[in-house]
Chains A and B, each alone.
Chain A
Amino acid sequence: MKVIQLFKNETKLITRAANNNRAAQEELYRKYSGKMLSVCRMYIKDLHHAEEVMLKGFFKVFKHISSFKNEGSFEGWVRKIMIREAISFLRSKKDIEFAEEVFEDSNQSFNNINSGIEVEHIQKLIDSLPEGYKVVFVMYAIEGYKHQEISKMLNITEGTSKSQLFKARKMLQEKLNTQSISDYGTVKI
C-alpha cells in the first residue's frame, strides 16, 4: 500500500513538475540529485565536472519531463539521461577513445574476488581505468546494459564493446590481486 501511495505521489509530483511547478521540480531534484551525482561521478573523475553534468542532465529532465509517459520508473529515465549526458561530456573532452580491436574470447577466467572493499576504493579502481574501458565497464557491470545497447549508445561495434569490457576486467583483476598481496591480512577479501 505504501509503495502504491509513493508511486501515486511521485506521479502527481511529476505532473506538477511538468506544469513548471518549481516546488515540485525542487522536490524531485532533492530526491534524485544525490543518486544522479553518483552516476555521473562513476563516469567522470572530477566531481565538479560531474556536478555540472548532473545539473545539465536535470535541466534536460525538467525540460522534457512532459515526454515521460509513466511507463517505466522515473528514476531509470532520469538515470539514462544522466548517462547520456556524461558520455556526451566525455566525448566533448575527447577523453573517450575506443580502440577498434577484434575481441577474442580467451579462456582466461577471472577470479571471483569477494570484494569487501569500500565504495571509495571501488571508485578509485574504476577511475584508474582508461576512459574507453571505464565507460563500457560501468555500463555493463554496474548499470546492467547489454553489449548491443552499449554499442548503439557509444556508436561502436559489439566486438569493441566486448573487448573493452574484457580488458577492463583484466585490469581490475590485476589491481585487485596486487592490492590483496600488498595489503595482505589488512584488506577484507
Chain B
Amino acid sequence: MGQLKFERKFSEKLKERVIAPKPGSWEELSARLDSEEKRKNPIFWWIGIAATIIGGILIFGSFFNEPVPNNPEVVNVPVEIPEQKENRIQKNASEKAKPHEIAFEENKEIIETPASKKTLKASEEQKASQRENKSAVVSVNKNIRVQDPILEPEIIVAGVPEILQTNQDAIEEVLLREHSGNVKDAEVDALLAEAGSQLNKNREQKAFSVKITANDLLWDLEMEMEASFREKVFEVVKDGYLKARTAVVNRNNSF
C-alpha cells in the first residue's frame, strides 16, 4: 500500500510549509541553554571543592599523625617475673660495681706482676707497657672518684687508694729513675714485693678485725628479747606456784 496521490500532494505542500515562531523564541531558547550550562558548571565547582576539602583533610591528617619527637612513645612493656627483675637488679648492681672491680684488678695486676715476672722475661717493651698500665690505673681511679660520687666510698676505698698511698713514694721514685734511666729490674722487683707483702698484711688485719653489721646487732637484740620473754614466763609460773603453795599451807594450818 503505497502513498496515494492526495497524500503525495499533502506531503509536498506540508513539507514546503514554514511557520514562523513567535518573536523572542530564540532568546527563550538561549536562556534555557545558558541555565543548563550554569547548572553544569556548579557540578564541576562542587567536584573541585570536594576534592580540595578531601586533599586538605588528608594533608592535615598526615601532618597530625606524624609522631611528635618530644612526647614519649608508648611502648608495650612485657610483664616481668619478679625473679627476672631481681636478677636484673643484681646485674645492674654488678655493672655499677664493675669499673671499681676493673680498677682493682688492674691494681692487682700491677702489684702481682712482680710475682709472675719470674716466669715472664722482663723486656723494655713490657716495662713501657707496665708504666702505661700504672699511669692508667691512677687516672682510672681518679676518674672513678670524680665521675661517680653516688657510689659508696667504702667500695671505692676497698684497698686501691690505700695501696696507692702506701706505694706512692716508691712508684714516684721508680718513675723518676726510669726517666733518668737508672732503674734496675732487681730494685723494681724488690719494691713490688714489698708492696705485695704490705697488701697481704693489710688483708690479714682486716680479716681478723671484728665486723659489726646491722644484721648481727638485730640478731643479738632478738635473742635478748626472746630470753627476757622466757624469763618472764618462768617468773609468772614461779609466782603462781608460790602463791598456790602458800594458799595450800594456810588452808592446812586453818584446819
Contact = CB atoms under 8 A, between A and B. Distances in A.
Interface of A: 20, 22, 25-26, 29-30, 33-35, 37-38, 41-42, 47, 50-51, 54-55, 58-59, 62-63, 110, 112-116, 118-119, 122-123, 126, 141-142, 144, 162, 165, 169, 172, 176
B11 A55 contact: no
Interface in B19-57: 19-22, 25-26, 28-30, 32-33, 36-37
Contacts of A114: 5-6, 9
- For chain B, the bracket of interface size reads 20 to 34
A58 B33 CA distance: 10
Contacts, number: 89
A163 to B, nearest CB: 12
A142 B29 contact: no
A112 B5 contact: yes
Nearest to A169: B4
Tell me if A's interface is mostly helix, strand, loop or mixed.
helix
B212 interface: no
Contacts of B6: 112-115, 172, 176
Given A20-B37, A58-B29, A59-B33, A119 B17 contact: yes
A55 B7 contact: no
A55 B29 contact: yes
B13 A119 contact: yes
Given A22-B30, A26-B30, A142-B15, A51 B25 contact: yes
Nearest to B27: A26
B120 interface: no
A119 B26 CA distance: 26
Contact of B18 (A34, A47, A115, A141): A34
Nearest to B11: A142
Contacts of A113: 5-6
Given A25-B30, A37-B21, 8 more contacts: A29-B29, A33-B26, A55-B29, A62-B33, A115-B9, A119-B17, A162-B1, A169-B7
Given A25-B33, A26-B26, A59-B33, A38 B13 contact: no
B14 interface: yes
Contacts of B9: 114-116
A62 B15 CA distance: 23
B36 A63 contact: yes
B3 A51 contact: no
Nearest to A63: B36
12 contacts: A22-B33, A37-B21, A38-B14, A42-B14, A50-B19, A55-B29, A62-B33, A110-B4, A114-B9, A141-B3, A142-B14, A162-B1
